[in-house]
């Protein structure tokens, strides 16, 4: 759906995007995570046709965005980082305008406007001028304008910046629903938690380069860090060590009569085997906690700096 190959974009002396490659499939939520100035918006601009790539190749649904830009753009919905709304117009009028630019008309457009207003929870304020809206409401309308024409490919550039937690949850639910309906979603953010909870796969970008890419589990295992498991209950330390010793890649960090700590890669996947081993050692488990290494620690390891400066 989206194919980016060795994309490069240079502004004068500045290399904003430096050989970025990734692909996003239908129904997939792909994240571009990186700090300010990493090149996220520039990458989105090259996909949406707003910017011309200096080198490399971008295809949207098989259409080259440079040679076949009109066809590529027909499939796209774009929600820009800078809110693009007409402040003097109402929500309905903004949607009418954006739908119109996408070739929608008449009853079909009216029905779809009703639908996205309901989706975004703006139906009660739909007749009011946008300048009277709160920042979060504008963000929601900005998203509504991007999806009015039911695009197959959706580009979202930091759509939750400056949005309160409640509106954020609502926005993220909408994005998830779009992907579940089969839309291919590219989502940029510098919020680690968003990337972690929302995206199926992600690329971590810094200074125009992809420094790591994969599913969350793959990125975590790249970190070489393992999940930590802590069990409380009643244990026979020797029996537990023996039983767990038969499982590969699981380290017993601590084994006492009342607490047990393990380290393992992708521990959640291995819980059934671990519980079976504990049961065979006649352990009595009362409580279990699993702590995963975070993207934050991966980012620090890869770049030597924190994501949020």
Ligand X SMILES: Nc1ncnc2c1ncn2[C@@H]1O[C@H](COP(=O)(O)OP(=O)(O)OP(=O)(O)O)[C@@H](O)[C@H]1O
Q: Could you give the CA distance from residue 196 to residue 188 in angstroms, rounded to a whole number?
A: 12
**139 is a site residue for ligand X (CB under 6 A):** no
Q: Cα dist. 238→247, 248, 252, 263 in Å? A: 15, 17, 11, 17
Member of 38, 119, 198, 250 binding ligand X (CB under 6 A) = 38
**160 is a site residue for ligand X (CB under 6 A):** no
Q: Three-state DSSP class for 192?
A: helix
From ligand X, Mg ion, none, interface partner of 92 (C-beta below 5 to 8 A by class): none
Among candidate residues 216, 277, 279, 283, the one with its CA nearest the CA of residue 256: 283
Taking the least distance from each CB to ligand X, the nearer of 71 and 161 is 161
CB of 26 to ligand X, least distance (A): 25
**41 is a site residue for Mg ion (CB under 5 A):** yes
Q: Cα dist. 287→190, 253, 256, 261, 263 in Å? A: 34, 17, 15, 12, 16
From ligand X, Mg ion, none, interface partner of 36 (C-beta below 5 to 8 A by class): ligand X
Among candidate residues 191, 273, 267, the one with its CA nearest the CA of residue 227: 267
Q: Could you give the CA distance from residue 170 to residue 173 in angstroms, rounded to a whole number?
A: 5
Identify residues 40-69 at the interface with ligand X (CB under 6 A).
40-42
Member of 81, 225, 236, 292 binding ligand X (CB under 6 A) = 81
Taking CB under 5 A as the rule, which mask of x and - marks residues 235-274 in contact with Mg ion? ----------------------------------------
**43 is a site residue for Mg ion (CB under 5 A):** no
# residues contacting Mg ion (CB under 5 A): 3
Member of 22, 31, 39, 130 binding ligand X (CB under 6 A) = 39
CB of 138 to ligand X, least distance (A): 17
Identify residues 49-88 at the interface with Mg ion (CB under 5 A).
81
Q: What order of strands is seen across the sheet that includes strand 2-11? A: 14-24, 2-11, 55-60, 63-64
């Amino acid at each position: 759906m989206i194919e980016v190959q060795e994309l490069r974009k240079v502004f004068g002396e500045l290399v904003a995007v430096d050989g970025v490659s990734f692909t996003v499939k239908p129904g997939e939520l792909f994240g571009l995570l990186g700090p300010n100035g990493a090149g996220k918006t520039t990458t989105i601009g090259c996909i949406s046709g707003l910017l011309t790539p200096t080198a490399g190749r971008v295809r949207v649904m098989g259409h080259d965005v440079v040679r076949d830009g009109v066809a590529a753009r027909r499939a796209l919905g774009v929600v820009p980082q800078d809110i693009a709304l007409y402040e003097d117009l109402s929500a309905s009028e903004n949607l009418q305008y954006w739908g119109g630019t996408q070739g929608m008309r008449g009853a079909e457009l009216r029905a779809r406007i009703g639908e996205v207003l309901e989706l975004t929870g703006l139906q009660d304020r739909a007749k009011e001028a946008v300048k009277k809206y709160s920042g979060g409401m504008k963000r929601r309308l900005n998203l509504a304008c991007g999806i009015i024409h039911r695009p197959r490919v959706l580009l979202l550039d930091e759509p939750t910046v400056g949005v309160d937690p409640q509106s954020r949850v609502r926005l993220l639910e909408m994005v998830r629903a779009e992907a579940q309906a089969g839309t291919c979603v590219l989502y940029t953010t510098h919020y680690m938690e968003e990337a972690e909870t929302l995206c199926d796969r992600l690329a971590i970008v810094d200074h125009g380069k992809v420094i790591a890419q994969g599913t969350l589990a793959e990125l975590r295992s790249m970190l070489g860090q393992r999940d930590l498991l802590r069990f409380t209950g009643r244990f026979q330390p020797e029996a537990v060590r023996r039983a767990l010793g038969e499982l590969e890649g699981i380290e017993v960090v601590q084994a006492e009569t009342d607490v047990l700590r393990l380290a393992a890669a992708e521990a959640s996947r291995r819980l059934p085997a671990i519980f079976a081993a504990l049961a065979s050692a006649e352990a009595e488990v009362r409580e279990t906690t699993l702590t995963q290494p975070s993207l934050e620690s991966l980012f620090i390891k890869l770049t030597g700096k924190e994501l949020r400066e």
